[in-house]
Amino acid sequence: MTITAGHAADASAEPTYPMPRGCPFDPPAELAQLRVEKPISRVRLWDGSSPWLVTRYEDVRSLLADRRVSSDSSRPGYPDQSASIRARRENSTSFITMDDPAHARYRKMVIGDFTVRRTESWRPLITRIVDDLLDAMERGPRPTDLVEAFALPLPSMVICQILGVPYEDHNFFQERSRALVDISLDPQVSVQANEELREYLTGLMAAKEAEPTDDILGRLAQRYVLSGELSRGDAVSMALLLLVAGHETTANMIGLGTLTLLQHPEQAAEVRDGDPAVVNSAVEELLRLLTVVHTGRRRVATEDIQIGGVTIRAGEGIIAAGESANRDAAAFTAPDELDIKREPNHHLAFGFGVHQCLGQPLARLELQIAYPALLRRFPELRVAVPEEEIRYRDKMIVYGVQALPVSW
């Protein structure tokens, strides 16, 4: 029987999403149960709304590629992650929450800086930054926080160089970036952080309009803002997205991925040895297993959609749960196990369809360089606190460890 909105179960029976985790390295067990028993079902969000949660790999992949679903967060029925995220998006939007043709227009302006070929040209820069950070770690105190010493500064330094943002301002933008991805904050705190970051980037953009620079902000200013093709405000929105996404996700993958490898010493040794094919495969497997963007890809239906025996009506919200899809046994053998030589591995950690992550070649390259370099420099690397003392970023859009004390 096809299920429609009119046949929805009593709201009191709908599970609350996101669900709490049990094991910090695995999605909630309730997601796995839904994937088997009710793969497309309604869930209850913070605001009382009941969007559809889609949990199976094939269904998630299909919906993310379906032109009948919208990424436009201003549409009625769009399932925002929290009150703070909704307030921030109402205050300032970016092309990640737009549909084509607007989305494609903005994306085209920066995609040339994130091709595989262009990204590969940054390998020497990334390698030098990695080596410098590891040198500083080696000279520094033990234990040390791997997040503060390595995982966070590496992608922050890289994206600053690429964008044209002064790294010396990292404390300012990292603090505000954290506020933008924190679903537990008071909405006004999120809005204020957004406004302060926009004001900062507006000043940078104005300077680059006056004096050309060879970086993304400089090219946006000179090619598009000064020509009138792009307003300064829209250019700032693009810059804000690239700055926040450019360090938050990779930083958390470095921290959480390292912790995962340390719990699998034989596989960590293979990554340390640095065979490129093994390292590349290991990065893909960590991306799949951990899926740090762990609160689903949010969409809203623009037409009625029949999928998996369910009718999703136009105007109803959809959460495509990549964190569940990447653990689907129908798509991955032994999906809850780390297998750094997994083949094939067509995970959805970067999404799918037209909104697939713009910066994925850069994220991959940073991880491919970071993991083996860290493990080679510190072959005796170990976590310096009991496991129960490690705190995780459960209330953030991007999952990870808050801090990771290590020694060697």
- Whether 368 has a pLDDT exceeding 70, the answer reads yes
pLDDT tens for each residue of 212-251 = 999 999 999 999 999 999 999 999 999 999 999 999 999 9
User: For residues 176 and 239, what is the distance between their CA atoms, to the nearest angstrom?
Assistant: 14
Q: How far is CA 194 from CA 93, 173, 197, in A?
A: 11, 10, 5
5 pLDDT higher than 50 = no
pLDDT mean across residues, the chain: 95
Q: How many residues does the chain have?
A: 408
pLDDT at residue 20 is higher than 50: yes
If one counts the domains in the chain, the total is 1
* Digit-coded pLDDT (tens) for 109-122: 999 999 999 999 99
Q: How confident is the model at residue 3 (pLDDT cuts 50, 70, 90)?
A: very low
> 279: domain CATH number?
1.10.630.10
Please tell me the predicted confidence (pLDDT) of residue 1. Answer: 38
The stretch 389-402 carries a mean pLDDT of: 96
Q: Kindly tell me the burial class for residue 157, based on how many C-beta atoms sit within 10 Å of its own C-beta (0-12, 13-18, 19 or more).
A: buried
For residue 13, the model assigns a pLDDT of 83
Q: Are 63 and 297 in contact (CB under 8 A)?
A: no
Residue 292 has pLDDT above 90, yes or no: yes
Using 50, 70 and 90 to split pLDDT, how confident is the model at 207? very high
Is there a contact between 49 and 28 (Cβ–Cβ < 8 Å)?
Answer: no
The band of 165, judged by pLDDT with boundaries at 50, 70 and 90, is: very high
In angstroms, rounded to a whole number, what is the distance separating the alpha carbons of residues 138 and 93?
Answer: 42
Phi, psi of 297 (to 5 degrees): -85, 125
pLDDT exceeds 90 at position 364? yes
Task: Say what the alpha-carbon torsion angle 105, 110, 153, 138 is, to the nearest 10 degrees.
Answer: 150
Cα angle 288, 292, 295; round to 5: 110
Residue 46, domain extent: 5-407
Please give the pLDDT value at position 89: 87
Confidence (pLDDT) at 12: 59
Over the stretch 87-142, which tens digit does the pLDDT of each residue have? 988 877 889 999 999 999 999 999 999 999 999 999 999 999 999 999 999 999 99
**With contact defined as beta carbons under 8 Å apart, do 187 and 170 qualify?**
no
Does residue 2 carry a pLDDT above 60? Answer: no
- The mean per-residue pLDDT over the stretch 34-43 comes to 98
Say whether pLDDT at 170 is over 50. Answer: yes
Q: Per residue in 342-355, pLDDT tens?
A: 999 999 999 999 99
Predicted pLDDT at 42:
98
Predicted pLDDT of residue 11:
54
Question: Residue 7 pLDDT > 70, yes or no?
Answer: no
Write down the pLDDT at residue 10.
52
Per cent of the chain over pLDDT 90 is 95
